[in-house]
Structure 1
Amino acid sequence: MSSPWFSGLSADRSGGVGERPLRLFCFPHAGGGSRFYNLWRQRLAPGVVEVCAIVLPGRDGRLLEPPYNRMEPLVDDLTGALAPMLDRPFAFFGHSLGAAVAFETAHRLRTLGLPQPRCLVVSGRRAPHSPVPPPFSHLLSDDEMLAEVSSLGGLPAKSLRHTRAIEALLPSLRADYRINDTYLPTGGRPLDHPIYAYAGDRDPIAAPDDVAGWQLATTGAFRLRVFRGDHFYLRDAPPDFAAAVVADLREAAPSAVPR
């Protein structure tokens, strides 16, 4: 089993559903790639949680593919790629833009009558009913856009010296920002499964009070967790964060995430 959409997906289909790890599909932030989640595979209960990063066109091994710049076609194609992979308990994690993509994908799965995630973990993102306020990042110049990403902690200063890497990043970053800036939720009734919302206490674009609004997006359980740090407080899965993710997955799927 392989697909360009996923990194870290196991090909092992042996054993019953309860004998295989819960799949945690991780949706990237704007401009983000699968490497952001590499360390998670060591820190989120290996053998119990299978961390599977979503790989979007325009980055990683899909660098030559044109990136999406609208939410609807992205969710259409991603849902089609996900469908064959939902043969065991799974959950969604999305950071920043990834939270919105994960949320819309969960809605699309429900509309199509496909299996639903045991829970949705959203991070660093204001609630869907709170649109991103102007000025819009996708309208900035290249230098302004890179400066903004760097100020949020999403791009180390040393990376700005690697011209080729930056040139390769810019198209997908701008396209992602366009999705982010123009996104409006598709509507419909709230989700039924739990939503766990995470925030950094010093996040300049998704304050804890903004993230708390995700409670309106589900009729299921809700929890807000606040961590020390800025927009990228979760980088490298620090111990308190990793423990929180595993605890929330265990609460939502106790038989799939044993102690």
Structure 2
Amino acid sequence: MTPGPTPPAPALRERLARLPQGERAELLRRLRGRTPAAPDPGAWFARPSAGAAPELRLFCLPYAGGGGSVFRSWGADLPAGVEVCPVRLPGREARLSEPAHRSLPALVEALHRAIGPLLDVPFAFFGHSMGALIAFELARRLRQAGDPRPEHLFLAAFRAPHLPNPNIRIHHLPDEVIKTVLLKEGTPRQVVEDDAVMRSLLPTLRADLELCDTYDHVPGPPLSAPLSAFGGLQDVRVSGGDLDQWRRHTAARFRLIMLPGSHFFVHSARDAVLAEVSAELETTVTGKKERSHDRSTGE
């Protein structure tokens, strides 16, 4: 009989016990010599009912503490043929029972494994705040792996990644400090003062804040996709100058769009955001149709 895997030594068991749940499970799988199963795309991406293949998928990544439902209604206001794919991150909404990632590289690696089957059509990324950082690093990971690359990056409310974080790290501070920051950034007071809501939100929010606070930018060549950076004119954490520096991270066209609102202008200026995104995606989809027609006719 073939012997089973050797149990971890006592000292190793103690170290494993101190790891976050997700990292502990991953390390145990490696120790046992097992390859983790490929992630189920259905767990990570909220998609419409099966139908004709879209002309373009727009993957939408939420801000810290937020969920993919923020983008659920976007499809009706985007060009025909665009499929909105909100990203379902662990630790919120349908995945509330799972621990939220505290490390950006680990999250990007998990997303990279899950997203492959959905890259069968052209696609773009929209990310707000933390979501912008995830979208940027996911685009770099796709390039590194030689995978299809996004047609466009829409990155909102996060400073250019090479810039130092000008804000104090708050993920480890008392709840009241985090609540004060949320209020200054535009979170509705009724949400912050709802104890039940905050009890369910704060663990995931702390993990998301830690993910952003501990981000370490590794320099690399600019991406090939056009990039649109969005900012709120009343945002107290991210300035227009911080956003303008995103131009260094694309070798293609760059646009800076400043809209009325605080850090969460994705809600207050929703129609303006969608108008900008729609115009860019309409151009992308139309251009791809024209190039496909030229190839088919030999022109």
- Mapped pair 1:127 → 2:160: yes
2:218 to 174, 186, 190: 186
Deviation at 1:39, TM superposition (A): 2.6
Q: In the alignment, which residue of structure 1 is the partner of 2:63?
A: 29
More helix by share: 2
Distance 2:225 2:144 in 1: 14
2:243 to 200, 211, 214: 211
Q: Verify the 8 A CA contact 2:224 2:250 in the aligned structure 1.
A: yes
Aligned length: 251
Deviation at 1:143, TM superposition (A): 1.8
Q: Deviations over 1:49-81 (max 9, x none)?
A: 211111111001000101100110000001111
Q: In the alignment, which residue of structure 2 is the partner of 1:234?
A: 266
Distance 2:180 2:47 in 1: 31
Distance 2:256 2:263 in 1: 16
Higher relative contact order (CA 8 A, sep 6+): 1
Q: In the alignment, which residue of structure 1 is the partner of 2:45?
A: 6
Q: In the alignment, which residue of structure 1 is the partner of 2:143?
A: 110
Deviation at 1:10, TM superposition (A): 4.6
Q: Verify the 8 A CA contact 1:194 1:252 in the aligned structure 2.
A: no
* Larger mean Cα displacement after TM superposition, 169-178 or 159-168: 159-168
* TM-score, length-scaled by structure 1: 0.90
- Mapped pair 1:42 → 2:89: no
Q: In the alignment, which residue of structure 2 is the partner of 1:62?
A: 95
Distance 2:249 2:44 in 1: 26
Q: Deviations over 1:193-241 (max 9, x none)?
A: 1111111111111111110000000111111111111111121663322
1:201 to 224, 227, 233: 233
Structure 2 vs 1, CA of residues 186 and 254 (structure 1 numbering), >3 Å: closer, same or farther? farther
* Larger mean Cα displacement after TM superposition, 236-245 or 115-124: 236-245
* C-alpha RMSD over aligned residues: 2.0
Q: Verify the 8 A CA contact 2:128 2:156 in the aligned structure 1.
A: yes
Q: Which amino acid aligns with 2:131?
A: G
Structure 2 vs 1, CA of residues 115 and 236 (structure 1 numbering), >3 Å: closer, same or farther? farther
Deviation at 1:135, TM superposition (A): 1.2
- Secondary structure of 2:100's counterpart equals coil
- Mapped pair 1:248 → 2:248: no
- Secondary structure of 2:266's counterpart equals coil
**1:140-151 map, 5 Å:** 140-151=173-184
- Mapped pair 1:82 → 2:115: yes
Structure 2 vs 1, CA of residues 32 and 109 (structure 1 numbering), >3 Å: closer, same or farther? same
Distance 1:257 1:28 in 2: 30
Structure 2 vs 1, CA of residues 195 and 25 (structure 1 numbering), >3 Å: closer, same or farther? same
- Secondary structure of 2:151's counterpart equals coil
Structure 1 residues not aligned, in runs of 5+? none
Deviation at 1:171, TM superposition (A): 1.1
Q: Which amino acid aligns with 1:189?
A: P
Structure 2 vs 1, CA of residues 140 and 175 (structure 1 numbering), >3 Å: closer, same or farther? same
Structure 2 vs 1, CA of residues 187 and 9 (structure 1 numbering), >3 Å: closer, same or farther? farther
* TM-score, length-scaled by structure 2: 0.79
Deviation at 1:112, TM superposition (A): 0.7
- Secondary structure of 1:199's counterpart equals strand
Distance 2:78 2:140 in 1: 26
Distance 2:211 2:100 in 1: 11
